[in-house]
């Protein structure tokens, strides 16, 4: 602040004055430029074709050796598994899987984990993963690759993917008889969707953690055997041995992505085996619609960013990214009709097996971890991508609005000007300051000169800081309160509990500006602080999860630009509409609106009332899931919303209200501090 | 303390039966092959070639017969009394395969004992490095990378096996976990044998087949056995071992039958003529029970009971087999009964009493935890010693060292700790010394112990990264040692023996077991060696290049050539410039080349200099009268 508040440095240049008059225009121009740049990225001139950067992968260098007998084995295993599934309706046939792995000569182990579900009094769930390690002949167990297949019980509500385990085992049997493996292969069958995978990964990387039994939610335990540092992972979700197309899923936890090389590798090998494969690959029929390339690209980009922004992985692969293991899911979808069958059903899965073998052998070739190519990218098409260097300018342009406005607001702060004027000993008339305010300031100055020995008007840094801390505290409480033992013991579901806590704290935030009124100059200072924090927060979020940062910026920047604290703004309709928009921009409301839109999209036949009701329950569930995700998986969406967006919204709401204390009040306060609700407000 | 007890035990054992068997100047060579079917369709073949030479006086070492000359010269040049070198690919799986006959860690491993009069630590360091260099050449391995930065002097864990071992002695130990073992090591290793690879068991070791195994380990062990206080009555013993584990599944056979020809690609062509004995031992119980041998062995059912555990061997004595001259091609086939299922035996082997694992926990490139897990599945408590060598690029924090325990069957480690019985720690030093840690504790029966130590990863200097920087750096294996009260799964030779058959019926009060864990790969914080890093390097280069001229400007003497009364008029200015150039040319001709360079310096720069410096300038450039005057004038003007 020394530099900024040094009176010898004049912030009053003509340029700044000129710009300050047109803050909004400048900011809107930046905003439009940012959004336009983003749309331009969908044009082929603005994105690049994919290429393999890591030469060691050399996809397709070897002939696939896997033959039809592996496919026969897969079919046979699938039949056996279907019989097992009749006996294990809601559990995993662990014994069968372990027996098969043992028979194929893998070093088979089981991994037990416990989840202590914190809400509604607490419940314990036990899970069990099975994994077999193929000890590679060419290495002393220092590196490994994971091949994972989630197992879904027959009673699961999700799509049946029971063919994945037989396929995995058939590949394991093939791989076991080869001597070229230079990385241990781990064949892992997890249950309970992502929970099993998370537990396994945590046990692999933090198996010794001495967890406090009463506090830990997921107790992963320790693994009986490991295979060194994991280099890559492939998650296989196969609906049926007869497949139509393969959807390559890459979005991971908190929007992290695997190395682009890994995606390219899968694409190349799938193409070689003649499997229709791609990012967000749709069935054949849906693919035949006439859209321009631009429209298609844009749609692809937006769907990718949309699925990234929630930070929830769309497959088990997403959990690997946290440990810097590049992973993706190949989700093979069932062929709908048998009319388009090319080969006999006896060899239906051979291309997929060959593809898995090809991927495995390429990964086996890796000499170093994935480090080339890109970790931050947006896929516009199966063979085109946008690198971080190309998409960041869009976000930067949006965020720049906040910083530009912050600087211009700061340099035209009435208090600062007054200060400068005092220092210079002259009073300059300013267009932006109204007569009244000036008079006020003059009065203030005179007042100060009269009753204190300081002759400067000082900004109320202290009270603004306290106000900021208070808002942050509310955000922090959102994180902490729902998990307090006292609340957890209430026999109440997770969703109502979380929602009620959040709504309560939002309500406090809503009321806060009515109760606490900042001293003069405080609002302006708060405005500057808000803009700076907002800008920093967005750029950081955008770096970690571009999708979330970008969408948040697109949504909120116009509001932030139009936000004004000056009292002289006579157009009260604009003012009121800003207040209304701010209200709608409450994180809780935004979530509700998003959920509402999704519900409407999914159930268009329902009446509006029902939709709204359903959306409300869904939004409540969403907030609870957000909390659970953050606690168990380390998803920081909930944290970001509570600790960053909610405090920012409270400040924004304060600014939109612009509750000012009358000058007379202020004088009163000076004389009798006990009458105001805020006890710690600092004055000179 | 148990290490002391261990030494005592060894010494007693030596005195009992070492030097007596050989007469003076006696030199014998033995070749042995042990075949042990292991569980999980694996077969362990162990070759041992032993040369034992009672050379008597040191001078006799100049005349070698069966012992390679390198080894004899070694004893003359260095004060080395015992030397072990292991070159290994793969990892011995204790859980499924039991214990090996000789232990080795993956990569290269080397340790040596030095003993002699007036030996100092510095001298030992020097000899150690030279010794490593010698064997780097002999075995074509990267042992030349062994130096002080990756060597330690183990305090308790490695015990001497030479004699006399009671004097002043030094030990050095080092591993190179990154070493890749290949044909180029096998060929020179075979050349050390008296028969080479021409005949005898060594002819089976063909690189094409040897390197198709799950585990192969070449070993070389030299030790000197002298009678106490008598340097002139000594035996040198060279043991070369090759330990291979074949995976029958890799052969893609329809059944489990195998034969020497199948394993090694060719049959055995008799025996080495120089060998005093040449025997094949085939284990017949446990996993070997189901096989039928063709041809029948010369000696059936040799039963070895050791520590309450019996092993049955069949022996082929090659000397007896080929007593008569004639065709010497020989093959042994293991046939399993036809009734047996094609899908193989899935019987789980009994777990060995002590198993070890090591892994790295934590994620990220900043810090982590090295974890060594020791499991005791014996019913009684066992003494355990662990030796860790942590390289200098990983900082270990001793205060975080802890041993936690859990019952073997439980999944998670709780808060129960085990107390240290012994702790020896030598802190590491960046780029100079590795951290060396030895701990000893009692591990209760049916219990696992988790030894964790927190480490920080160091950011290396940019030239210290290897070309494949993102591959990661290695941390060598830990050695875990224990004393077993029983001989189950234990097949190592007793320290006083030198032949495999010496391990038969060698019951002892306890058996010293030493196990190697996995090596680890850590990914140190690695800069992005692509564009941004290149930009940094380029920027540094530019700065370095710019530094030269700036330095020369800042340090060189500046002499100001004064411009005679600068004219105001533009035309006059140009005229003046033209005339001055002529003048300057004259001056340049007059002054020596050094001074000319100085004159050429920018006058504008000189105007910033203080008058004092210009005065110093004038005093040195005394020869140039006109310049001097000019300067004086200028000063006056300034005043």
Rounded Cα distance between A241 and A234, Å, is 18
Rounded Cα distance between A566 and A655, Å, is 10
Contact present, A132 and A104 (Cβ < 8 Å): yes
Q: Which residues from chain A sit within 8 angstroms of residue B245, using beta carbons?
A: none
Chain A residues 161-220 with a CB less than 8 Å from chain B: 176-179, 205-208, 210-211, 219
Q: What is the mean pLDDT of residues A369-381?
A: 89
pLDDT over 50 at B70, yes or no: yes
Q: Which residues from chain A sit within 8 angstroms of residue B404, using beta carbons?
A: 208, 210
The minimal CB distance from B93 to the residues A135, A138, A176 is found for: A135
For B323, other C-beta atoms within 10 Å of its C-beta total 8
Q: What is the mean pLDDT of residues A551-565?
A: 88
* C-alpha closest to that of A457 among A428, A417, A404: A417
Q: Which residues from chain B sit within 8 angstroms of residue A205, using beta carbons?
A: 361-363
What residue ranges do the domains of chain A occupy?
55-190+224-382, 459-675
* Range name among A240-249, A260-269, A415-424 with the lowest pLDDT average: A415-424
Q: What is the mean pLDDT of residues B105-116?
A: 92
Q: What is the mean pLDDT of residues A82-108?
A: 89
Q: What is the mean pLDDT of residues B287-315?
A: 85
The minimal CB distance from B91 to the residues A140, A367, A372 is found for: A140
- The per-residue pLDDT for range A303-314, each reduced to its tens digit, is 999 999 988 898
- The per-residue pLDDT for range A155-189, each reduced to its tens digit, is 888 888 889 999 999 999 999 988 899 999 999 99
Please report the pLDDT score of residue B563 as a whole number: 66
Say what percent of chain B tops pLDDT 90: 34
pLDDT over 50 at B637, yes or no: no
Please report the pLDDT score of residue A285 as a whole number: 58
B89 touching A (Cβ < 8 Å): yes
Q: What is the mean pLDDT of residues B335-353?
A: 67
**DSSP state letter for B322:** T
Degrees (nearest 5) of the Cα angle A160, A161, A165? Answer: 140
Average pLDDT, chain B: 81
CB atoms A368 and B521 under 8 Å: no
CB atoms B214 and A135 under 8 Å: yes
Please report the pLDDT score of residue B310 as a whole number: 86
Please report the pLDDT score of residue B200 as a whole number: 86
Please report the pLDDT score of residue B25 as a whole number: 62
* C-alpha closest to that of B271 among B330, B219, B189: B330
Distance from CA of B149 to the nearest CA of A (A): 22
CB atoms B346 and A371 under 8 Å: no
- The per-residue pLDDT for range B373-384, each reduced to its tens digit, is 999 998 899 999
- The per-residue pLDDT for range A515-531, each reduced to its tens digit, is 887 777 788 888 899 99
B296 touching A (Cβ < 8 Å): no
pLDDT over 50 at A656, yes or no: yes
Tell me the two tokens of residue B486.
């029983």
Looking at per-residue pLDDT, the higher value among A682 and B110 belongs to B110
Average pLDDT, chain A: 82
| Domains assigned to chain B | 23-353+486-491 (no CATH), 354-481 (2.60.40), 556-638 (no CATH)
Q: Strand runs (DSSP E) across B130-185, as ranges?
A: 151-152, 169-176
Please report the pLDDT score of residue B592 as a whole number: 47
Q: What is the mean pLDDT of residues A371-379?
A: 89
B346 touching A (Cβ < 8 Å): yes
Chain B residues 402-441 with a CB less than 8 Å from chain A: 404, 411-415
Tell whether pTM > 0.95: no
Count how many residues are written for chain A: 684
* Range name among A546-555, A612-621, B20-29 with the lowest pLDDT average: B20-29
Tell me the two tokens of residue B319.
């000397």
CB atoms A135 and B371 under 8 Å: no
- From the options 3.40.630.10, 3.40.50.300, 3.30.420.40, 3.40.980.10, give the CATH code of A55-190+224-382: 3.40.630.10
pLDDT category of residue A436 using cuts at 50, 70 and 90 = very low
- Burial state string for B353-379 with b = 16 or more CB within 10 A and e = fewer than 16: bbbbbbbbbbbeeeebbbbbbbbbbbe
CA distances from B359 to A134, A204, A418, B492 (A): 17, 9, 66, 26
The minimal CB distance from B361 to the residues A141, A207, A372 is found for: A207
* C-alpha closest to that of A403 among A521, A537, A524, A578: A537
pLDDT over 90 at B481, yes or no: yes
pLDDT over 50 at B103, yes or no: yes
Q: What is the mean pLDDT of residues B303-316?
A: 87
Contact present, B403 and B448 (Cβ < 8 Å): no
pLDDT category of residue B593 using cuts at 50, 70 and 90 = very low
Rounded Cα distance between B33 and B382, Å, is 32
pLDDT category of residue B587 using cuts at 50, 70 and 90 = low
CA distances from A67 to A61, A64, A354 (A): 18, 8, 8
Rounded Cα distance between B603 and B66, Å, is 85
pLDDT over 60 at B6, yes or no: no
The minimal CB distance from A142 to the residues B412, B415, B519 is found for: B519
Mode of pairing for the β-strands spanning A143-150 and A184-190: parallel
Contact present, A48 and A385 (Cβ < 8 Å): yes
Distance from CA of B106 to the nearest CA of A (A): 6
A387 touching B (Cβ < 8 Å): no
pLDDT category of residue A391 using cuts at 50, 70 and 90 = very high
Q: What is the ipTM of this complex?
A: 0.81
B474 touching A (Cβ < 8 Å): yes
For A253, other C-beta atoms within 10 Å of its C-beta total 22
Within 8 A by CB and 6+ apart from B399, the residues are: none
A634 touching B (Cβ < 8 Å): no
Looking at per-residue pLDDT, the higher value among A438 and A514 belongs to A514
Please report the pLDDT score of residue B552 as a whole number: 85
Element housing B575 (H / E): helix B570-590
Rounded Cα distance between B161 and B239, Å, is 13
């Amino acid at each position: 602040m020394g530099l900024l508040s040094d009176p010898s440095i004049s912030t009053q240049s003509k340029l700044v004055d000129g710009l300050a008059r047109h803050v909004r225009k400048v900011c809107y121009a930046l905003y439009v430029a940012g959004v336009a740049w983003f749309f331009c990225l969908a044009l082929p001139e603005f994105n690049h074709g994919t290429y393999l950067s890591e030469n060691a992968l050399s996809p397709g260098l070897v002939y696939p050796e896997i033959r039809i007998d592996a496919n026969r084995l897969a079919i046979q295993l699938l039949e056996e598994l279907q019989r097992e599934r009749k006996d294990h309706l809601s559990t995993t046939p662990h014994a069968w899987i372990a027996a098969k792995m043992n028979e194929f000569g893998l070093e088979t182990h089981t991994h037990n984990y416990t989840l202590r579900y914190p809400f509604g009094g607490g419940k314990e769930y036990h899970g069990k993963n099975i994994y077999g390690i193929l000890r590679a002949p060419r290495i002393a167990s220092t590196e490994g690759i994971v091949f994972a297949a989630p197992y879904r019980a027959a009673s699961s509500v999700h799509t049946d993917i029971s063919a994945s385990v037989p396929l995995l085992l058939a590949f394991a049997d093939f791989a076991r008889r080869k001597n070229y493996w230079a990385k241990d292969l781990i064949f892992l069958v997890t249950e309970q969707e992502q929970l099993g995978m998370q537990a396994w990964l945590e046990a692999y990387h933090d198996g010794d953690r001495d967890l406090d039994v009463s506090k830990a939610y997921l107790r992963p335990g320790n693994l009986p055997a490991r295979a060194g540092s994991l280099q890559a992972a492939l998650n296989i979700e196969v609906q049926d041995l007869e497949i139509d197309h393969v959807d390559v899923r890459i979005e991971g936890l908190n929007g992290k992505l695997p190395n682009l090389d890994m995606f390219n590798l899968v694409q190349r090998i799938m193409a070689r085996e003649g499997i229709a494969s791609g990012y967000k690959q749709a069935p054949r029929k849906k693919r035949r619609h006439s859209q321009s390339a631009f429209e298609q690209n844009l749609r692809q980009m937006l769907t990718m960013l949309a699925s990234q922004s929630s930070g929830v992985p769309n497959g088990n692969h997403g959990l690997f990214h946290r440990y810097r293991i590049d992973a993706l899911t190949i989700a093979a979808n069932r062929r709908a009709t048998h009319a388009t069958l090319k080969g006999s059903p006896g060899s239906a899965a051979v291309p997929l097996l060959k593809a898995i073998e090809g991927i495995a052998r390429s990964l086996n070739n890796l000499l170093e971890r994935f480090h080339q190519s890109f970790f931050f990218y947006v896929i516009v098409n199966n063979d085109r991508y946008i690198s971080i260097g190309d998409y960041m300018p869009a976000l930067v342009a949006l965020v720049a609005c906040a910083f530009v406005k912050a600087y211009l607001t700061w340099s035209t702060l009435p208090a600062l000007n007054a200060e400068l004027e005092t220092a210079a000993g002259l009073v300059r008339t300013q267009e932006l300051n109204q007569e009244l305010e000036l008079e006020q300031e003059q009065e203030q100055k005179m007042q100060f000169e009269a009753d204190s020995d300081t002759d400067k008007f000082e900004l109320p840094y202290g009270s603004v800081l306290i106000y900021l801390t208070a808002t942050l505290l509310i955000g922090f409480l959102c994180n902490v309160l729902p998990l307090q033992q006292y609340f957890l013991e209430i026999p109440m579901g997770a969703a109502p509990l979380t929602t009620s806590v959040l709504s309560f704290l939002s309500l406090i935030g809503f009321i806060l500006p009515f109760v606490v009124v900042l001293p003069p100059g405080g609002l302006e200072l708060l405005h500057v602080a808000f803009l700076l924090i907002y800008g920093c927060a967005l750029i950081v979020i955008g770096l970690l999860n571009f999708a979330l940062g970008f969408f948040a910026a697109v949504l909120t920047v116009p509001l932030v630009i139009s936000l004004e604290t000056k009292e002289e703004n006579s157009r009260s309709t604009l003012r009121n509409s800003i207040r209304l928009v701010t209200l709608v921009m409450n994180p809780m409301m935004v979530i509700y609106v998003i959920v509402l839109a999704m519900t409407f999209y999914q159930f268009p036949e329902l009446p509006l009332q029902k939709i709204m009701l359903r959306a409300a329950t869904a939004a409540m569930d969403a907030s609870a899931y957000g909390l659970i995700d953050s606690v168990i998986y380390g998803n920081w969406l909930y944290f970001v919303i509570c600790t960053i967006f909610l405090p920012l919204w409270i400040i924004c709401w304060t600014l939109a209200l612009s509750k000012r204390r009358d000058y007379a009040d202020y004088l009163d306060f000076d004389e009798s501090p006990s009458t105001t609700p805020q006890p710690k407000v600092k004055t000179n | 303390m148990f290490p002391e007890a261990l030494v005592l035990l060894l010494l007693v054992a030596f005195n009992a039966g070492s030097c007596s068997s050989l007469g003076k100047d006696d030199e014998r060579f033995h070749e042995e092959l042990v075949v042990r079917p292991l569980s999980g369709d694996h077969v362990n073949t162990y070759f041992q070639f032993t040369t034992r030479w009672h050379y008597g006086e040191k001078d006799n070492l100049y005349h070698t017969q069966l012992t390679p000359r390198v080894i004899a010269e070694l004893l003359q040049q260095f004060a080395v009394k015992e030397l072990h070198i292991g070159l290994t690919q793969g990892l011995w799986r204790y859980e499924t395969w039991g214990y090996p006959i000789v232990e080795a860690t993956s990569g290269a491993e080397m340790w040596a004992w030095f003993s002699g009069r007036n030996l100092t630590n510095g001298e030992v360091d020097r000899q150690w490095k030279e010794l490593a260099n010698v064997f780097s050449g002999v075995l074509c391995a990267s042992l030349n990378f062994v130096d002080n930065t990756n060597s330690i002097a183990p305090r308790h864990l490695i015990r001497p096996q030479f004699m006399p071992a009671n004097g002043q002695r030094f030990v050095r130990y080092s591993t190179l976990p990154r070493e890749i073992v290949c044909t180029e090591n096998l060929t020179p290793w075979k050349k050390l044998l008296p028969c080479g690879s021409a005949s005898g068991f060594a002819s089976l070791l063909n690189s094409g087949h040897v390197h198709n195994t799950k585990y192969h380990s070449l070993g070389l062990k030299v030790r000197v056995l002298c009678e106490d206080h008598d340097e002139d009555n000594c035996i040198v013993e060279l043991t070369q071992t090759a330990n291979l584990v074949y995976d029958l599944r890799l052969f893609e056979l329809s059944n489990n039958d195998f034969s020497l020809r199948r394993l090694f690609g060719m049959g055995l062509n008799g025996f080495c003529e120089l060998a005093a004995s040449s025997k094949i031992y085939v284990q017949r119980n446990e996993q070997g029970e189901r096989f039928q041998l063709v041809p029948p062995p010369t000696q059936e059912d040799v039963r070895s009971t050791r520590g309450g555990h019996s092993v049955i061997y069949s022996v082929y004595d090659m000397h007896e087999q080929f007593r008569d001259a004639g065709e010497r091609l020989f093959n042994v086939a293991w046939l399993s009964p036809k009734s047996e299922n094609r899908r193989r035996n899935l019987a789980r082997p009994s777990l060995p009493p002590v198993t070890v694992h090591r892994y790295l926990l934590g994620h990220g490139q900043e810090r982590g935890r090295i974890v060594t897990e020791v499991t005791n599945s014996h019913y009684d408590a066992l003494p355990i010693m662990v030796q860790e060598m942590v390289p200098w690029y990983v900082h270990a924090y001793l205060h975080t060292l802890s041993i936690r325990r859990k019952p073997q069957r439980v999944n998670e480690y709780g808060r129960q700790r085990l107390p240290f019985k012994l702790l020896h720690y030598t802190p590491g030093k960046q780029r100079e010394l590795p951290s060396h840690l030895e701990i000893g504790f009692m591990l209760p029966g049916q219990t696992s112990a988790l030894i964790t130590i927190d480490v920080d990863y160091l950011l290396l200097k940019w030239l210290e990264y290897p070309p494949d920087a993102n591959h990661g750096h290695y941390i060598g294996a830990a050695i875990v040692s224990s004393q077993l009260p029983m001989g189950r799964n234990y097949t190592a030779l007793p320290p006083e023996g030198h032949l495999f058959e010496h391990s038969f019926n060698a019951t002892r009060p306890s058996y010293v077991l030493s196990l190697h864990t996995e090596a680890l790969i850590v990914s140190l914080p690695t800069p992005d060696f692509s564009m941004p890093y290149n930009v940094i390097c380029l920027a540094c280069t530019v700065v370095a290049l710019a530094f030269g001229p700036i330095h020369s400007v800042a340090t060189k003497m500046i002499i100001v050539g004064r411009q005679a009364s600068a004219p105001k008029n533009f035309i006059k200015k140009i005229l003046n410039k033209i005339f001055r150039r002529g003048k300057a040319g004259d001056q340049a001709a007059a002054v020596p080349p050094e001074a000319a360079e100085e004159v050429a310096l920018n006058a504008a720069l000189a105007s910033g200099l203080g008058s004092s410096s210009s005065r110093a300038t004038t005093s040195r450039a005394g020869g140039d009268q006109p310049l001097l005057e000019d300067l004086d004038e200028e000063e006056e003007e300034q005043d």
